[in-house]
Amino acid sequence: MRSDRFDAREFITRAAALPGVPGYEAPVAEYIAACMEPLCDDVRIDALYNAIGRLGDDGPRIILCAHQDEIGLMVLSIEKDGAIRLARNGGVDPRILPGLEVIVNAASGPLPGVVGAKAPHLLKPEDHNKAVKLEDVYVDIGYPAARVRELVRIGDTVTLTGAPVCLDGEIMAGKTMDDRACVAVMLECAALLSTMKHRAQVFLVAASQEEIGSKGAATGAYALQPDIAVVLDVTHGEGPGTGKFEAYPLDKLISTIAPCINRPLYDKLFEVAKRHRVELGKSVKGGGTSTDADTLAVSRAGVPTLLLEVPLRYMHTTVETLSLNTIREAGRLLAHFICDISMEWEAIAWH
């Protein structure tokens, strides 16, 4: 089943290009809210830049949560020569930075820059095999130092760039697939639900500040008081050097079992997946999941929570790679899951 009301490829292409590092998600939140409008009964952006859409007026309150923020950087200082030193805003690996193009989001407008580091020819012999550290790199925007200080403020955000690339067939690569591709899953689900029979209040939550501690998920869940929650995030896709139990095929959705995951809901998801012929694999986390699921599960008095993950390669880089078909299958699975849950609500045993 497909809906022509939503195009995952187009959404991801446009959403991935928008700046939205933790705490500064307004541009991407506004775009996501606009995409929710034709699919939802009500849409709003809250004080923490969560974009929230609602479908339905009665029945169980079901949150679908995918984070919209991206890893990025901030201006830490400006050197005498105008070079811009950096601080992390999210989990940026310094190894990927040298040679990247970036945008400094200044008050006067976006400023293109490049990430520079000392040329290998100038390194001391003992430094050639050392890992790059954040203090080793800087952003060069090309202006004289005095002009840099006029244009750039300490604390301005710096976003990575990387235009999406369509590889073979349904494989797509680019920046910010983590986790805007999973926002696409929510929108695909909403488009399908408009053609299906269900009785539930479904809240699409494009959450802010996941990369620095799930702050948007915490405030969103507290305000919405859900009966259940499904968190959508990415996991590691198989590639050269990945181990057997740490990465998964790009064409297979993964559902994680962990202490914060509700077992009856987990089992129900696999039942629905089998009935509708959706490939669904398993992952086991003995502690936290490092996703918004950890936070949603303990909101207020506790929320029965699920975690559904989309495998991608090269996480936290500008070439994160995944399958668009897996995005669509995730939306289809969730739509059927929500329909089943809403019809069986009174009979569900939570423990």
Q: Residues 76, 78, 82, CA angle at the centre, nearest 5°? A: 145
CA distances from 215 to 28, 121, 178, 202, 274 (A): 17, 44, 17, 21, 34
Phi-psi region of 300 (alpha: psi -120 to 50; beta: other; left: phi over 0): left
| Residue that is written with structure tokens 């064409």 in the block | 251
Q: Would you give the distance in Å from CA 51 to the centre of its chain?
A: 13
Strand (E) or helix (H) holding 53:
strand 51-55
In the numeric block, the tokens 């407008």 are attached to 109
* Contact yes or no for 92/73 (Cβ under 8 A): yes
Residue indicated by tokens 């669509």 = 328
Q: Provide the H-helix boundaries in the chain.
A: 8-16, 26-36, 145-151, 177-193, 215-224, 263-275, 293-296, 324-343
Say which of 25, 70, 188, 210 is annotated catalytic: 210
Cα–Cα distance for residue pair 251/325, rounded to 1 Å: 7
d(CA 212, CA 36): 25
Q: Give the span between the Cα atoms of 41 and 170, in whole angstroms.
A: 31
Taking a C-beta distance cutoff of 8 angstroms, is the pair 332, 188 a contact? Answer: yes
Task: Reply yes or no on whether 170 is catalytic.
Answer: no
Tell me how far apart the alpha carbons of residues 174 and 166 are, in angstroms, rounded to a whole number.
Answer: 9
Q: Are 75 and 156 in contact (CB under 8 A)?
A: yes
CA nearest neighbour of 231 among 274, 277, 183: 183
Instruction: Provide the pairing of β-strand 84-89 with 253-257.
Output: unpaired
Which region holds residue 125: left if phi is over 0, alpha if psi is between -120 and 50, else beta?
alpha
User: Which residues are designated catalytic?
Assistant: 210
